[in-house]
Amino acid sequence: MLQQKYAFSPEQVEEILVDPPVEGYMDIPREGLILDIHAQNAIPFVVVSVLTDPVPGAHWYSSGRMRDTKLLALAQRVKPGPSQAQSVISNYQCFQKGSYPNQRMIIKLKDGTQYQAETDCPRGHPGNMPDMQEQIKSFHHQAKGVLPEEKICRLTEAICTLEDCRDIAEISALLSPQNKK
């Protein structure tokens, strides 16, 4: 969001602070990550993934990307902010109560410019849902690796008008890249 708003490149970033940090989620090995679950839970990796490719997807967690030296060097610039680290269990308890811990990100550029953003619920949380067009755009991006564009468009239309569907088999046929329907 900050990168899109202020149009800076990942190469311009001096340091990124995540505040408050989350215990056990701020570390990233210099040699890279092995399992995608580690990458998904490594805040520095996710932050630089957004900076270098703002459309999330499974491609973020490819083995090549999880060991990309340029990406990992950038991830080393993502550091804990000054607040006391939160535990995963305290965050989970916050979720159970229907809330989300307040998070702040401060991006410091090499020229001294600083940007910051704060959120009390991330994108995708019921309190901060993307609109239908954003969801459709994300679906198209996620599906393009496994379905032809024409099928993606037909599937999007079918899902958006699901209440008018007489036979769900029509939709399931669109989910198969081999099926010609």
74 shares a domain with 26: yes
Closest CA to 153 of 134, 122, 174: 174
User: Does a structural domain hold residue 34?
Assistant: yes
* Whether the Cβ atoms of residue 102 and residue 118 lie closer than 8 Å to each other: yes
DSSP 34-79: SSHHHHHT-HHHHHHHHHH--S-SGGGG-HHHHT-HHHHHHHTTEE
**C-alpha–C-alpha distance, residues 117 and 112, integer Å:** 17
* Domain match, 122 and 156 both: no
Question: Residues 121, 139: one domain?
Answer: no
Note down the domain range covering 143: 132-174
34-78 per-position pLDDT tens digit: 888 999 989 999 999 999 988 888 888 999 999 999 999 999 999
Is 179 inside a domain boundary?
no
Number of separate domains in the chain: 2
| 82 and 159 co-located in one domain | no
Clarify whether residues 43 and 61 are in a common domain: yes
Q: What is the pLDDT of residue 85?
A: 94
**pLDDT exceeds 80 at position 19:** yes
80 within domain boundaries: yes
Average pLDDT in the 161-174 region? 90
pLDDT at 177 over 90: no
pLDDT attached to residue 66 = 93
Are residues 46 and 122 part of one domain? yes
